[in-house]
Structure formats: C-alpha cells, structure tokens
Structure 1
Amino acid sequence: MLPVRAEPLPTSVSPLRAPLQAAIVDLDGTMVDTLGDFSAALDRMLADLALPAVPAAAVADMVGKGSEHLIRSVLARVQADPGLYDTAWASYQRHYPDVNGRHSQVYPGVVDGLQALKARGLALACLTNKPTGFARALLRDKGLDGYFSHVFGGDAFPRKKPDPLPLLRTCEALGSAPGRTLMLGDSSNDAQAARAAGCPVVLVSYGYNHGQPVRAVDADGWVDSLAEAAAVLL
C-alpha cells in the first residue's frame, strides 16, 4: 500500500549551481513501492528456515542498503543464528523472482516525471542497491525500462550507495559531469552518495529512509513526486 500523509508539506528545492545534463534515479521507495515484494520474499525465506515472519512495517526500516543487509537485519530481528545467512540468502534469491513486481506499484507522478525529464533532453539512469537482474525485471514489469539508457544494481560495482563510487561510475556511463547530474532518491543513502560524488540531490518525501524523517537529511530539496521534481528543476 502506498504511504499516506494527512497533509503534504510544501515542495522545497534550492537553485542548482549548473544546468543539468542527466539524472540518476533510485528505484525502491522512489519510483516503485516494493515493500510488498520484499515482505513476500522474506516471509517465504523465513518459512523455509522455520523462523517467524517479520511485520512489513519493520521491513520498511531495513530496506535500502542491499539484499545482504536486508537479510542480515531480518535474521537479527528474529534472533536467528547468523550462521544461517548463506542458507537464507539462497532461499531469498530463489523466491524473489517469483514475487518481483507482484506486490508492488508505481508511485503517483513517476511516469509524468520521467517523461518530463526525458522531454528536456536529460540522459537518465536507474541506480539502485537492488540486484541488477531484479531491478531490470521490475522496471520491465512496470513499463519503466524504456526511460533509462543504463540500469545499475547493487552488484554492478564493488561498492554500494552510500559510497559515491556507483554514482561516479554511472556519471561516466552517462557521459555527464557529476555536478550536472541530479540524484533523485528517497533516503540518506542516496543523499550521502550524491554529496560525496559531487552530485546535486533531491529526495522524494515518501519512501523508506530507514524509518527516519527524510527532511532531516542533507539534500538540495524535497518533493512530493517525481512530476514535481521535473516541474521545479527544469
């Protein structure tokens, strides 16, 4: 289910220092609400291990740092033996393709926002900590794959966000300067990576952000949808 806020906060974006050449867009929590997919795969994994299920609300706070971190966090939550990690990883990898996209939905404004960014001539890449294969399959399932010239997952580079390396490599692939490449995300992972890479960063006000208020994150602005981001930035 999409998160509901009783009263939306105003859009707030600082003027960017240079005209944009490209944009890098996060996936989970930014373009697609995938909490249902995560919960379904984790429930199957935990059942395989004869362990109790974890509430979706708790899973939301663990999302964003890659599958490895998610699985370790879930095992810790149910007080399982850390030695079960390899078995849990294999189970999760087996189940996730079966649920990928089945319990998720595209956030409002995403398609309009991507269309507007493309119409202004920006090169677009999707950069996520989700494994690349899962990310590509989800984008296809939701009809979003055609907007991106590149899709990079958490297994595409030696390090994941919040390390700046994935953003710097993605800028290289796009042929854009970091200072003219916008990072659009939903969490401190995206913001920290962007700051370290020298990219401007705007965060959506929904999403996961590890259970912390997103407007407390150091960013150049916050918007309530990708459509709003395109409107105020271009």
Structure 2
Amino acid sequence: MDVTGPADAASFARGPWLAQVDAVLLDLDGTLVDTLGDFALALARTLAELDLPAMPREEIALRVGKGSEHLLQSVLLWACTRAGHADAAARAQALYTRAHLRYQHHYGLVNGSHAVLYPGVQEGLAGLRRAGLRLVCLTNKPHAHALALLRAKGLDGAFETVFGGDSFARKKPDPLPLLQACAWLGTVPARTLMVGDSRNDAQAARAAGCPVVLVTWGYNHGQPVREVDADGYMDSFAEMGVG
C-alpha cells in the first residue's frame, strides 16, 4: 500500500483508499474524547494530598499522550520545581509511588465525569461500521480506565475490542501495540488504518507499517499536528462517516 497518502482525511475516507483498508485502530484521549477535565481534577486532588501546587490545564495538555505513568512523572517534576524543592527531580521520584496510587484512585472516581465526546464521533464511528470496517480502540490509557470511559460516553459497543496501555509490554509510540492489534484482528498493517491525535500515534503507525490519519483537535504536546508526518488530517470526525 502506498502510504504517501492524500492531502486530507476527507478524501482518504471517501476515496479509493477506503477499499484498501480492512480495519481502523482508534486512539481514545484527544481523538474520541476530550478528557482534559478528568485529568485536571484527578491531578489536582493528588497534588493537594502531597502539598504540591496544582498544574494549569494548558500545562497538563502538553503532557497527555504517553500513558498515565509518563503524565504523572512529568506533573510531579513540574510541581516539585514550582514548590521550590532544591532537588525537584529526586523529590518527584521519591513521591511517585504514593502519587501513582492516589492518582489512580482519584482518576477512577472522576473518570468520564468531566470528559466530553468530540463532535461527530458517534456519526463517524457509525459510518465506518456501515462501510464494513472493523474497529478497535487502541489507547495508552490503562485498560480498565479506557473501558469505564467508553461506557460512560456510550461508546462501549462501538469496538470489537479495546487495548490499553497495560495490554502489551510497550506503549505507543512503540509499534508493538499496533502490530499486536493487527495480529488480533488478523489484518496486515498496510491495510489497517491508525487514527490518532499526536506524533505518538503517527510514529507508532509508521514503524508498524500502518497508514495513519491525525485529527486536528487533540493534544499533540502543544505542537501543530499538521507538522507531523501522516497520510491525512481531519478537522471533524464526521469526515470519517461514510455510506
């Protein structure tokens, strides 16, 4: 499959490429659901218990995408630095185990309560299913939290299966999750489309040999998503609704 791709995702979805795709792997946070409100609340409660300052939402958005461990480590380092600890890195490391337990607790309580579906998600997923494409949710979010979020947002029946950040030995941007998802589906990577919101998704797809489309409304660590090497970009999830 030629992965040089069209200029935008709308032409990808409605053009001849569709006949060359058997399945779609979809990221969750920043792609299907805006979960920044959940992250902000759970992190604020966790940091308060540790006597550390809360992080602004715009700073949290820069750190989303590589899994909860990376997010928490980055937030702790920022908060310890902001609090004036002489050795912020050492302090953040010392607090990590306790912080991780408390963060998972708080996130479990708020998961989905301050998150919203992006416009066109349900219509886009329905269109892909009508087109006969198999759908898998492939996220770096812990599997249990991913399932709970999908249920809370009425998307639990949209996918054949869900793989989380703890489903495999490595997370995106490593290609392993995509390759394992393709193996589960029984599809070849070149016929399995990855849809995500960041360079993590694109790097994983490129390394796995999957075509990739990026949405323009997600997080992507604060960088313009159109600067990331991808086969297409879409400004509305409804653009993936076909048939």
- TM above 0.5, yes or no, is yes
Work out the number of aligned pairs and report it. Answer: 223
Residue 75 in 1 paired to residue 86 in 2?
no
> Percent same amino acid at aligned positions?
61
How far did 1:227 drift?
1.6
Q: Which residue of 2 aligns with 1:59?
A: 60
SS at 1:182's partner residue?
A: strand
**Aligned partner letter, 2:224:** P
1:91 is aligned, of 95, 99, 102, to: 102
**Aligned partner letter, 1:57:** E
- Matches of 2:9 and 2:132, distance apart in 1: 23
2:170 is aligned, of 140, 159, 170, to: 159
1:182 is aligned, of 193, 213, 216, to: 193
How far did 1:226 drift?
2.0
- Matches of 1:18 and 1:169, distance apart in 2: 23
**Aligned partner letter, 2:229:** D
Greater mean alpha carbon deviation, residues 29-38 or residues 174-183: 174-183
SS at 1:207's partner residue?
A: coil
**Aligned partner letter, 1:91:** R
- Matches of 2:113 and 2:189, distance apart in 1: 35
Q: Which residue of 2 aligns with 1:40?
A: 41
Q: Which residue of 2 aligns with 1:121?
A: 132
Q: Which residue of 1 aligns with 2:25?
A: 24
| Partners of 1:113 and 1:229 within 8 A in 2 | yes
| Partners of 1:13 and 1:202 within 8 A in 2 | no
Q: Which residue of 2 aligns with 1:7?
A: none
**Aligned partner letter, 1:44:** R
Residue 50 in 1 paired to residue 51 in 2?
yes
- Matches of 2:181 and 2:67, distance apart in 1: 17
**Aligned partner letter, 2:47:** L
CA distances 1:46-68 after superposition (whole Å, capped 9, x unpaired): 01101000000000000000000
Could you say which structure has the larger radius of gyration? 2
SS at 1:145's partner residue?
A: coil
CA distances 1:195-233 after superposition (whole Å, capped 9, x unpaired): 0000000000110001111000000010012221344xx
Where does structure 2 lack aligned partners over 5 or more consecutive residues? 1-7, 82-87
- Matches of 1:18 and 1:108, distance apart in 2: 26
| Partners of 2:9 and 2:213 within 8 A in 1 | no
- Matches of 1:70 and 1:33, distance apart in 2: 16
How far did 1:187 drift?
0.3
- Matches of 1:22 and 1:46, distance apart in 2: 40
SS at 2:20's partner residue?
A: coil
- Matches of 1:17 and 1:33, distance apart in 2: 27
| Partners of 1:18 and 1:180 within 8 A in 2 | no
**Aligned partner letter, 2:156:** D
How far did 1:76 drift?
1.1
Root mean square deviation of aligned Cα: 1.5
CA distances 1:104-158 after superposition (whole Å, capped 9, x unpaired): 1000010000000001111100000000000000000100110101100100000
- Matches of 1:32 and 1:136, distance apart in 2: 13
| Partners of 1:21 and 1:176 within 8 A in 2 | yes
- Matches of 1:55 and 1:109, distance apart in 2: 28
How far did 1:83 drift?
1.1
| Partners of 2:127 and 2:240 within 8 A in 1 | no
